Amino acid sequence: MADQVSAGYDEHDTERLVDAPSRAGRLPFERDRARIVHSAALRRLAAKTQVVGPQSNDFVRNRLTHTLEVAQIGRETARVLGCDPDLVEAACLAHDLGHPPYGHNGERALDEVAHEIGGFEGNAQTFRLLTRLEPKSFDDAGHSVGLNLTRATLDAASKYPWPLADAAQPSGRHGDGLPRSVRKFGVYDDDLAVFTWMRAGRPAGQVCLEAQVMDFADDVAYSVHDVEDGVVAGRVDLADLAGAGLRAEVWATVREWYAPDADDELLEAALARVSALSAWPISRYDGGRPNLARLKNLTSQLINRFCRAVRDAVAADGSTYPRLRYSGDLPVPAQVREEIAVLKGIAAHLVMRADDRMALLGEQRAVLTELTEVMVKTGEPALDPLFRADFTAAANDEQRLRVVVDQVASLTDSSAVHRHRALVRGA
């Protein structure tokens, strides 16, 4: 028996790999959201890097707090569009679950290690985790189907709905400033069966509306909160942007990292618009309650500004409402994209290019590379119980390497260091 269908969605959207009727009368996407909230993978994000390490400062965001903020922005945007808020929130909660230790830097290291077996990509790892690795449900043959989420929720969490073979060459930078060195794709070859089930009847390569909302919410959260964290950490003083020399340096970073075609005039105009907000700082940040309140109000004003612009664009274009699944795209005005690029550029130039952060990146990649190598050599005793059966069942060296990569990707920043110390330095 199928669950009750949420408004605007049909039984195809709410189907699960293994039938699991609700015992409490909840709607399908409410159940999906709850399964992700209670997952071990979500809890582990609390100890994974966002931009700077989660142990570096009590205030700065880790991957979990970022995820919760993305979920809130995504839910409010969903209400504007008329798509299901629980569905979008579930996708936002899931969107970073596949990130390894050290964020995109760790992703680069594991992609190099796994080059001969189809690489590593955080979004493909998220799909693998949701449909296989996170223990919740099993099929009749005893195979794990992960959290057994609905087809629509899995699709909404798929930012890149294609395999590696169809992925474009990487270009530009991630939101955290690291170069895009990994081709972006959403499924490994050995997970294609469930991916094909998820995408049944949908256009190849087309991103569903709910996934676009998730991606927009992620972009807004990155741009606004990275500046906030930079100010509190003492690395960003927005008052310094009054200097034309610093602005020129920031604009150069914006073009190099995010918006290659943006000229100084366009970026100056975007900065003028956001700096005209009433909460834009008028004095240097001193850590006191008034300044912190002003900074928090600035983040609220920026988020409201970006989300309101999308709402107005939806109202103005007169197209389909409610907008869900494949009924249309998310309209993000050009001015919003320009203002987001300016905020990203400020954080990129003043925080992400800092010498101390750049020096740390190579050390982090070495930890994951060496840890993977020693785990492959040591085998089952080096793995958590959750992965030992997979390693034993693997038919060849390629499959065993994939299991080890799954294990390393599941670690937090701190547990990767501890495991490295025990297995590599103690080896």
The predicted-structure confidence for 9-48, as pLDDT tens digits, reads as follows 999 999 999 999 888 888 999 999 999 999 999 999 998 7
Mean of pLDDT values over 179-185? 75
218 and 158 together in one domain = no
Q: pLDDT tens digits for 340-389?
A: 999 999 998 888 766 566 667 888 999 999 999 999 999 999 999 999 99
21 and 155 together in one domain = yes
Residues listed for the chain: 427
Number of Cβ within a 10 Å radius of residue 172:
11
In a domain, 67, yes or no: no
122 and 51 together in one domain = yes
Give the whole-angstrom CA distance, residue 163 versus residue 185: 5
pLDDT of residue 366: 93
In a domain, 165, yes or no: yes
- How would residue 53 be classed by pLDDT, with cut points 50, 70 and 90? very low
What residues contact 351, with CB distance under 8 A and at least 6 apart?
Answer: 51, 52, 177, 226, 229, 230, 233, 235, 236, 357
pLDDT of residue 403: 98
Mean of pLDDT values over 190-204? 94
Domain boundary among 354, 378, 399: 354
Give me the CATH number covering residue 180.
1.10.3210.10
**Total count of domains within the chain:** 3
51 and 104 together in one domain = yes
- How would residue 1 be classed by pLDDT, with cut points 50, 70 and 90? very low
In a domain, 222, yes or no: yes
**pLDDT of 240 higher than 50:** yes
Q: Provide the mean pLDDT of the chain.
A: 89
Q: pLDDT tens digits for 64-111?
A: 999 999 999 999 999 888 899 999 999 999 999 999 998 888 999 999
Phi first, then psi: give them for residue 337, nearest 5 degrees.
-60, -40
200 and 236 together in one domain = no
Give the whole-angstrom CA distance, residue 223 versus residue 347: 8
Domain boundary among 336, 354, 372: 354
What are the residues facing 24 on neighbouring strands? none
pLDDT of residue 2: 44
**pLDDT of 218 higher than 80:** yes
In a domain, 4, yes or no: no
In a domain, 111, yes or no: yes
384 and 270 together in one domain = no
Give the whole-angstrom CA distance, residue 411 versus residue 249: 37
With b for 16 or more beta-carbon neighbours within 10 A and e for fewer, the 88-108 pattern comes to bbbbbbbbbbbbbbbbbbbbb
Domain boundary among 310, 327, 354: 354
Phi first, then psi: give them for residue 411, nearest 5 degrees.
-70, 155
In a domain, 3, yes or no: no
Q: What percent of the chain has pLDDT over 90?
A: 70
In a domain, 74, yes or no: no
**pLDDT of 318 higher than 90:** no
23 and 156 together in one domain = yes
What residues contact 163, with CB distance under 8 A and at least 6 apart?
Answer: 185, 186, 187, 188, 189, 192, 195
Residue range(s) defining the domain that contains residue 273: 210-354
164 and 195 together in one domain = yes
379 and 280 together in one domain = no
217 and 316 together in one domain = yes
149 and 37 together in one domain = yes
Q: Six-digit token pair at 336?
A: 């919003």
Q: Six-digit token pair at 77?
A: 């945007």
304 and 161 together in one domain = no
In a domain, 66, yes or no: no
The reply to whether omega before 135 is within 30° of 0 (cis) is no
| Apex 97 CA angle, 96 and 100, nearest 5 | 90
